[in-house]
Chains A and B, each alone.
Chain A
Amino acid sequence: MNVLVFLIPAALALGLLALYGLFWSLKRNQYEDLEGAAYRVLQDDDIEQKK
């Protein structure tokens, strides 16, 4: 049963990490434009700057 001493904190820590992720992404407005973000990756405006 000693293994519980590690496993339960580990489970909680992983859960908390995910929760932190959610709060972080909400704060950074990551869900504001779900459609646009997918296409923004394909923009090559950064290439123009290199020329």
Chain B
Amino acid sequence: MGAAPDYSHFVKTDQEGRSRLDLAIDGITCAACLDDIETAMKRLPGVILARLNLTSHRLAVTFDSGRIDSGALAGALEAIGYRAYPYEQRKVEADEAARFTLLLKCLGVAVFAAMNIMLLSVSVWSGEASTIAPETRDFFHFLSALIALPAAVYAGQPFYTSAWTSLRQRRLNMDVPITIGVFLALTLSVYETWHHAPHAYFDSAIMLLAFLLAGRVMDQAMRRRTRAAAGNLAALKGENALRFEPGAGPEKLELVPVAALAAGDRVLVRAGERIPADGEIEQGSSALDESAITGETAGKPVGAGDMAYAGSVNGEGALTLRVTAAGHAALIDEAARLIEAASAARSRYMRLSDRVSRLYAPAVHLTALATGLVWLALGASAHDALVIAISVLIITCPCALALAVPTVQAMASGAFFRAGLFLNDATGLEKLGEIDTVVFDKTGTLTLPEPRVVNAHEIAPDLLALAARLARSSRHPLALALARSAPSNAPLPDARETPGQGVAAPYEGGEARLGSASFCGVETGASADEASAIFIRHGESWAKLAIRQTLRPDAAQVVAALRNKKFRIYILSGDRPQAVAPIAEFLGVEDWRGGQKPADKIAFIEELKERGAHVLMVGDGLNDAPALAAAYASLSPIDAVHLTQTQADAVFLGERLAPVASALAIARKARALMRQNLTFAIGYNVVAVPVAMAGHASPLFAALAMSGSSILVTLNALRLRGPGKSVTLAPRQASGEADSAPRFSRLAS
């Protein structure tokens, strides 16, 4: 086990021949870590540069690959107490970063232009009350045009491209009326300036862009931070596999990251280890715990020739696996087919803001047209009628409307982040706010993904500690579960394992034994769940440790809180009904089903949907992925298999179920705020449009109305956070457990 893993798969080489490795780091708690880590890295021979990013918790190391091995870098970090794993930047994250930079540049340009134009406009407005020489006014308008036109071309890029894409797909989004508004305001102003007219709207057009960009920058900043943290978590979950070195003798093994495995590689999976990749078993026989895939908790016996799926846990025997390309497994194909069918219905969901803009744009443009025609019919000149029609468009330009949703979204994803949730998709937030029915999977969702000792409180503490120390010498699945649920202790020296029986070690003059009943010499009555019990004996004292899937610590509390909030709750599990019943009973859920195949789960959800329910599916297994896609909204824990996570609207961290309740509470609140904001923005138009239609929309009025409404909408969105605004349903308990949520909440504060 001592060999350092080979991370050369992740190492990049630059032009000067230096190697570079990016590592995601876990365990950074304070600023002093920065010094610790960088100094430790620089002390290693061959390290040229090490730079830790304290915001994203990533370390970039530049080193000479001839003098130091990539695995040794991670080893050195582990030695000073930080867990590290190579981090591969995904394309999405790079794209988000580039987009953020572009938005920030656009915002900079827009703010610069808006400030300078305002300087000129304010002079013109205050001059109008007294006297201003027409030449000076024209000069100011000319200067404004000079600043506004290039600025609008640059700063408006995000809106123009988005409006164009949407038009090409024959849809209308909010950016279409924005683009039209900006374009018309600028054209009209240039025309008026040219003809020495008193009114120009350069300030409105640029200010509109500045406000909208500020909203988008806020949204993007939050999304980027969430993605960075999610990327780190994904990297730190990365595991290593023992691969038979290709071409070398049959006994040569090397430790490589799972990402480096390719089809045809042969890997060794020892007892108790997780299967690193889908593959066919070549040698060995064992029992696989496939609960992450099917929800079934009882082990499945396998032998040579059987398939093993990534994510299942190996039982007692060592297996040699030939890796097959992912996607060939019948089970995964079936899941993918069901997902595809189920997500067709899902993509029909239309975002709140798109729904509004689909009605809004035609309504506004028709109003402007009607206004122009009416003025023409009343005898106004063509020029005046056109100016008034355009001013209606400028006034109604959807500044507040376009800010109404993104500002709330940014605040809500911040709140999600602090509650230990990562939002995959912004529409998920809106959908979560409409949920009235929650369907839980059992294995890995209501229960913890790994089994634990359930009767720890009945056992003498010293005996339990002794058992945990013995367990550390064994890789048997039950021993691993035991070691996980007890506080960490050094393993006992001279422990000997009898395969399939137990572990024994000399202890305090006698012998301590951990294992099966016969191995420990304990007489027990026949009990039904013999497979999940393990015995400890030291001298005359002995105890039976029952090891089972345990509920998440706050599952009962969260389910009760949800029920109080009038959510209907169901449990759908792929596990045997006998295993589901006690859990459903304990949680007080009357409506539950066991032994459900993925298609059964979909059918159940479809049936609920037909009755008009908005269903939230919470699940983690591969068998849940189609159901997640079929449900109205979906959540999955961070330990879920990859395919399932990509189907979920949001992923939650940690051992607790509380984030599920928080997600629903935050989303409800956010949805209410979005509706308030949209109502307000539409109400503002109802008031402002008649003024514009009457021909009284001066540039000053337009500027005041636009900025006033935008600021109000933004302030309303800020109500989602701030002192005393805790939006959790169930009380969150302070915990010192190995729960990563608090650590990441520090990032967000």
Residues of A within 8 A of B (CB): 1, 4, 8, 11-12, 15-16, 18-19, 22-23, 26, 32-36, 38-40, 43, 45
Q: A36 touches which one: B53, B104, B120, B147 (CB < 8 A)?
A: B53
Check: B343 CB closer than 8 A to any chain A CB.
no
- How many residue pairs between the two chains, A and B, have CB atoms under 8 Å in the bound complex? 53
State the CA gap A11–B120 with chains docked (Å): 11
Cβ 8 A contact of B35, one of A33, A34, A43: A43
Assembly CA distance A34 to B31 (angstroms) = 12
Rounded to whole angstroms, the CA-CA distance of A40 and B108 in the bound complex is: 27
What is the bound-complex CA distance between A10 and B53, given in angstroms? 39
B531 contacts A by Cβ under 8 Å: no
Chain A's interface: helix, strand, loop or mixed, by majority? Answer: helix
A4 surroundings in chain B (CB, below 8 A)? 136
Q: Which residues of B, 127-184, contact A by the 8 Å Cβ criterion?
A: 133, 136, 143, 147
B83 within 8 A of A: no
Contacts of A43 in B (CB 8 A): 34-35, 38
- B745 located at the interface, meaning its Cβ lies under 8 Å from any Cβ of chain A in the complex: no
- Chain A residues positioned under 8 Å from B101 (CB to CB): 26
Say whether B104 contacts A26, CB under 8 Å: yes
The verdict on A15 contacting B55 (CB below 8 Å), with A1-B136, A26-B101 known, is no
Cβ contact within 8 Å between B147 and A40: no
User: Nearest chain B CB to A21's CB is how many angstroms away?
Assistant: 9
**Known contacts A8-B143, A43-B35: does B55 contact A34 (CB below 8 Å)?**
yes
State A3–B13 Cα separation when bound (angstroms): 59
Tell me if B344 counts as interface (CB < 8 A to partner A): no
Q: Contacting chain A: which of B111-119, B327-335, B570-578?
A: B111-119
Q: Which of A26, A36, A45 contacts B54 (CB 8 A)?
A: A36
Let me know if B52 is at the binding interface, CB within 8 A. yes
- A16 touching B105, Cβ below 8 Å: no
Which of chain B's residues have a CB closer than 8 A to the CB of A1?
Answer: 133, 136
Across the interface, B115 reaches (CB within 8 A) one of A8, A15, A45, namely: A15
* A36-B53 Cα distance, complex, nearest whole Å: 6
User: B616: CB under 8 A from chain A?
Assistant: no
Q: Check A39 against B31 for contact (C-beta < 8 Å).
A: yes
Pick from A11, A23, A32, A40: contact of B116, CB under 8 Å = A11
Task: Give 11 CB contacts A-B under 8 Å.
Answer: A1-B133, A4-B136, A19-B109, A23-B105, A23-B108, A32-B55, A33-B55, A35-B31, A36-B52, A38-B31, A45-B42
Q: In chain B between 14 and 67, which residues have their CB closer than 8 angstroms to a CB of chain A?
A: 31, 34-35, 38-39, 42, 52-56
State A11–B119 Cα separation when bound (angstroms).
9
* Chain B residue at smallest Cβ distance from A36: B54
- Contact between chains at B54 and A35 (CB < 8 Å): yes
Task: Kindly state the separation between the CA atoms of A26 and B54 in the bound complex, as whole angstroms.
Answer: 18
Taking A1-B136, A12-B147, A22-B105 as contacts, is the C-beta distance between A36 and B116 under 8 angstroms? Answer: no
B143–A19 touching, CB < 8 Å: no
Contacts of A18 in B (CB 8 A): 112
- Closest residue on chain A to residue B747 by CB atoms: A35
Within 8 A of A (CB), among B70-118: 101, 104-105, 108-109, 112, 115-116
Residue of A35, A36, A40, A43 with highest tally of chain B CB at under 10 A: A36
10 closest residue pairs by CB, A with B: A36-B54, A39-B31, A35-B54, A22-B108, A33-B53, A19-B112, A33-B55, A35-B55, A15-B112, A15-B116
Q: Which of B38, B56, B105 contacts A33 (CB 8 A)?
A: B56
How far is B354's CA from A31's CA once the two chains are assembled, in angstroms? 33
Contacts A1-B136, A26-B101: A39 and B54 contacting too (C-beta < 8 A)? yes
**Contacts of A38 on B, CB cut-off 8 Å?**
31
- In the assembled complex, which residues on chain A have CB atoms less than 8 Å from the CB atom of B105? 22-23, 26
Contacting pair A19 B34 (CB below 8 A) = no
Q: How far is the CB of A38 from chain B (nearest CB, A)?
A: 8
- List of A residues within 8 angstroms of B55 by Cβ: 32-36
Which B residues, 582 to 598, have Cβ-Cβ distances below 8 Å to chain A?
none
- From the candidates B35, B104, B112, name the one contacting A16 in the complex (CB within 8 A): B112
| Nearest CB on B from A20, distance (A) | 10
Q: In the complex the two chains form, is A36's CB within 8 Å of B112's CB?
A: no
Beta-carbon nearest neighbor of A7 in chain B? B119
B548-574 to A contact mask, C-beta < 8 Å, 1/0: 000000000000000000000000000
| Min C-beta distance of A30 to chain B, whole Å | 11
- Minimum CB–CB distance from A3 to chain B (whole Å) comes to 12
**Which residue from chain B places its CB closest to the CB of A35 in the assembled complex?**
B54
- Distance in angstroms between the alpha carbons of A31 and B120 in the assembled complex: 32
- CB under 8 Å from chain A, chain B span 707-727: none
A18 to B55, CA, bound (A): 26
List, in ascending order, chain A residues with CB within 8 A of B104's CB.
22, 26
A23: chain B residues within 8 A (beta carbon) = 105, 108
In the bound complex, CA of A34 to CA of B747 (Å): 12
How far apart sit A8 and B144, CA to CA, in the bound complex (Å)? 11
| Residues on the A chain within 8 Å of B120, using CB | 8
A8 to B139, CA, bound (A): 11
Q: Are A40 and B112 in contact (CB under 8 A)?
A: no
With A and B bound together, what is the CA distance between A43 and B116 in angstroms? Answer: 41
B51 to chain A, nearest CB (A): 9
Task: Flag if A19 contacts B119 (CB, 8 Å).
Answer: no
Shortest Cβ gap from A15 to chain B (Å):
5
Contacts of B54 in A (CB 8 A): 33, 35-36, 39
A33 to B328 CA separation, bound complex (whole angstroms): 43
Apart from A18-B112, A45-B42: 17 A-B pairs, beta carbons within 8 A: A4-B136, A8-B120, A15-B115, A19-B108, A19-B112, A22-B104, A22-B105, A23-B105, A23-B108, A26-B105, A34-B55, A35-B31, A36-B31, A36-B53, A39-B31, A39-B34, A40-B34
Q: B187 → chain A, closest Cβ, in Å?
A: 24
Closest-by-CB residue of B relative to A12 is B116
Report the minimum CB–CB distance from A5 to chain B (whole Å): 10
CB distance from B426 to the nearest CB of A (A): 23
Query: Smallest CB-CB separation from B151: which chain A residue?
Result: A19
CB distance from A7 to the nearest CB of B (A): 10
B109: chain A residues at CB < 8 Å are: 19
Which residues of B have CB within 8 Å of A34? 55
Report the Cα distance A9→B115, complex, angstroms: 14
Residues of A within 8 A of B35 (CB): 39, 43
